Structure 1
């Protein structure tokens, strides 16, 4: 085995004292080893694979519910301390199914959707439309009509064109629709680069300089009720600095808009960071809630304006750490490098079930799931089965050097933005999503088969 000093491991990845450990905060709270075998929600990985095969996405229902409840409570407490209220929206784009929509709303959350498909899933789950927000930079007329028809709580307007589309819809139907306007504050929280300009080079929202005229137009439309401003500064955000700066800029506009009418609500987005590896140190949710709400309260006091009702969108923070994907190890090979060597561990999934590594360079962890390894930690790269050199599941990880074909490998923090981004690349069927809780497992999204893929091809019927 190459020593840690001679391998091309990144600086943030240390050689673990135990290559079988389950790092708290990365794995669901229910994750443990029973006789060396990983269990989730009281169900062993071996049992899950016997029943559902591999790959399989395992979602810990208890973890989702706990995080939803904790985040809602944290913002309720922070808002109450400053004399206002807070609403928390679950981001359907992170992962949405009928079951998950029911879990989060039962825990007191509202729900964001951004397409007609997500809206229909939420309606099928029985979510009250008044508890939904409808996002998206290119909502079709049909989608807007459906949202208005169902009585959706808020449509977040993303462009001037949407104002006119909604004006026509409400005039034709006689409906009155509550709306917010999405604005760009010019704050890039991903890099904490607080740019002076309010014009961001991105597809969402309007620059602050164009917002006043847009709100004036919204207020002219009889069928539209202006509810306030919405601003989202990014995703996987640690700390409150970006939120404080963004709130300060948006509150200047908020105060200006109050001169001509009510601005009852402010949505500061979210995108709160979570731990994907032991190197990540996310801000505790209580500190985030208090820090952000305090910043808004201070900003309102400084401007002599009332504190509006607040809303937030935690994003992956609710469902991300609840997900674990189980794979079977196939082939293993050693690759010699100038500064040592790297072991390539191939699994039976890949970028078709987790595109984030290829898309964003996302970092993940991995552990043996069917047993505890007995070998020394060796630098490994977990790769998929697809015909792409960029088909990487876990870029850098130390795994026991006795990992072998047939072992089960678990990759945590796959609850958000993995199943929703999945594909059939190379005609690989998408895996099932299985919920676990209190020792029981059930399918909440069926996996696909080759027959499912062929059913979409008319040539299979001789056509």
Structure 2
């Protein structure tokens, strides 16, 4: 995604991708975010800490919403943009997303509770999940969520039973389908191929009977307690090639038309997912919202014209693209050691730079082999760069924060190190491995900081242990 225009973009000292728009170098070489020197932030709040650029978050939310509203208005339909609660959710962040005109997508009862506490109306919430509990379904119905995304045929009956017990208006549901379009950076985050847990397959059986997706859509229509709001698809995460969206859109529109031909019911809404990729390291080219929006709007318009169907309302879930680039993780360097590595091309030295966090605050490098970028945050190095690996403090060889990065040769204990683009799936996937308390989330705007999520303490950990 391009750096949003705004109060930070014009800074002469801005450092560019993959950092947030408000990240810059101070005159003496330290990093600052939104005008706040990270040395001062570390002194007040400690490390490790997630530092979230609020203005950058809001700018990205605005950019995405405006891009899609403009593109789909041009072809004659409306669009809703959903913020991905799973990427990172707190009361303040849910409130910001709603204030910027976004709806919020939740995947569990816990995420739903946070969004509700933020004041997001139930009608602006969605509930996802491939294995929703009865309590989660009942709570979603109680607060009037705008849609429940049904993930399996069996779930149709469960939602209908819960809705029947409550009475009142039919429950709005969408059926999640798998299009067979494979996209995303890692097999664990590609979500539309057949051999995985999400959705209902669009592939027709060999005997020529209707596809499981059509069967699930029919099942919803047969339940008077349910309102079939639409069809939902999602093809993956961290997507940098937008071509898959076009293919998936054509398939979903064809399924919508087939259902209408069989039943006379044309679903009013289609969710085309998202998972837009961001820059994690210098040189990455993130998806441009305006381009994706225009291409997707054109694909939907062309499909509906060819099929002879009216345009549906569209919903989009851009995923990490909003919060991912807004946040950095700030660490303090501890141990520094050089290791000689045997290699077929000849031995070389890799410098191991250990920080006071690790896989407990960013599991993605260990889980997916995800790449990140790090820089000194407290000063400018005086020595030539050396090949370094940033590692954590945990009892795992795989406790790697940044696999390979060039750091100044004089990096030393006590230096502050910042890792870019950790806003998505950093804090939300954080753990207490080795009984390490999770870091705080500190929002920065206009030179001031405020804690959104406080640092955990040892007392918090002990409070859960009943002895």
Q: Same fold (TM over 0.5)?
A: yes
**Range 286-295 or range 380-389, more displaced:** 286-295
Partner Cα separation in structure 2 for residue 190 and residue 370 of structure 1 = 35
Is this contact kept in 2: 1:355–1:421, CA < 8 A?
yes
Q: 1:251 deviation in Å?
A: 1.6
Q: Aligned with 1:393: secondary structure? A: strand
Deviations 1:124-153 (A, max 9, x none): 000011001110000011110000011010
Report the counterpart of residue 328 of structure 1 in structure 2. Answer: 332
Structure 2 counterpart of 1:418, from 391, 415, 426: 426
Structure 1 counterpart of 2:176, from 178, 182, 196: 182
Report the counterpart of residue 15 of structure 1 in structure 2. Answer: none
Report the counterpart of residue 355 of structure 1 in structure 2. Answer: 363
Q: 1:358 to 1:291 in 2, by over 3 A?
A: same
Structure 1 counterpart of 2:413, from 397, 401, 405: 405
Report the counterpart of residue 385 of structure 2 in structure 1. Answer: 377
Q: 1:23 deviation in Å?
A: 4.7
Partner Cα separation in structure 2 for residue 232 and residue 131 of structure 1 = 19
Deviations 1:64-89 (A, max 9, x none): 10000000000000001100111100
Tell me the TM-score normalised to structure 1 length: 0.92
Structure 2 counterpart of 1:90, from 74, 77, 83: 83
Is this contact kept in 2: 1:277–1:364, CA < 8 A?
yes
Report the counterpart of residue 210 of structure 1 in structure 2. Answer: 212
Question: Counterparts of 1:23-42 in structure 2 under 5 Å?
Answer: 23-34=15-26, 35-42=28-35
Question: Counterparts of 1:384-463 in structure 2 under 5 Å?
Answer: 384-459=392-467
Partner Cα separation in structure 2 for residue 199 and residue 448 of structure 1 = 38
Report the counterpart of residue 8 of structure 1 in structure 2. Answer: none
Q: 1:192 deviation in Å?
A: 11
Structure 2 counterpart of 1:117, from 110, 115, 125: 110
Q: Aligned with 1:111: secondary structure? A: strand
Q: Aligned with 2:130: secondary structure? A: coil
Report the counterpart of residue 277 of structure 2 in structure 1. Answer: 273
Q: Aligned with 2:22: secondary structure? A: coil
**Range 31-40 or range 226-235, more displaced:** 31-40
Q: Does 1:225 align with 2:233?
A: no
Deviations 1:286-316 (A, max 9, x none): 0011111111111111111111110100000
Report the counterpart of residue 137 of structure 1 in structure 2. Answer: 130
Partner Cα separation in structure 1 for residue 387 and residue 435 of structure 2 = 31
Q: 1:239 deviation in Å?
A: 2.7
Deviations 1:229-278 (A, max 9, x none): 00000000113210111112212111111222131011010000000001
Q: 1:199 deviation in Å?
A: 6.3
Report the counterpart of residue 308 of structure 1 in structure 2. Answer: 312
Count of residues in Structure 1 that have an aligned counterpart in Structure 2: 435
Partner Cα separation in structure 2 for residue 223 and residue 429 of structure 1 = 45
Q: Aligned with 2:135: secondary structure? A: helix
Deviations 1:315-343 (A, max 9, x none): 00000000110000001111112341110
Is this contact kept in 1: 2:14–2:22, CA < 8 A?
no
Structure 1 counterpart of 2:252, from 250, 255, 276: 250
Q: 1:134 to 1:410 in 2, by over 3 A?
A: same
Gaps of 5+ in 2: 1-12, 203-210
Q: 1:204 deviation in Å?
A: 0.5
**Range 405-414 or range 294-303, more displaced:** 294-303
Structure 2 counterpart of 1:127, from 101, 111, 120: 120
Is this contact kept in 1: 2:185–2:238, CA < 8 A?
no
Q: Which runs of 4+ in 1 moved over 6 A?
A: none
Report the counterpart of residue 78 of structure 1 in structure 2. Answer: 71
Is this contact kept in 2: 1:23–1:278, CA < 8 A?
no
Q: Aligned with 2:163: secondary structure? A: helix
Tell me the TM-score normalised to structure 2 length: 0.91
Q: Does 1:68 align with 2:61?
A: yes
Structure 2 counterpart of 1:149, from 142, 147, 153: 142
Deviations 1:9-60 (A, max 9, x none): xxxxxxxxxxxx9751310111111121111111111111111101010011
Deviations 1:343-371 (A, max 9, x none): 00000000000000000000000000011
Q: Does 1:103 align with 2:96?
A: yes
**Range 138-147 or range 29-38, more displaced:** 29-38
Gaps of 5+ in 1: 1-20
Structure 1 counterpart of 2:241, from 239, 247, 250: 239
Is this contact kept in 2: 1:239–1:288, CA < 8 A?
no
**Range 427-436 or range 238-247, more displaced:** 238-247
Partner Cα separation in structure 1 for residue 185 and residue 108 of structure 2 = 29
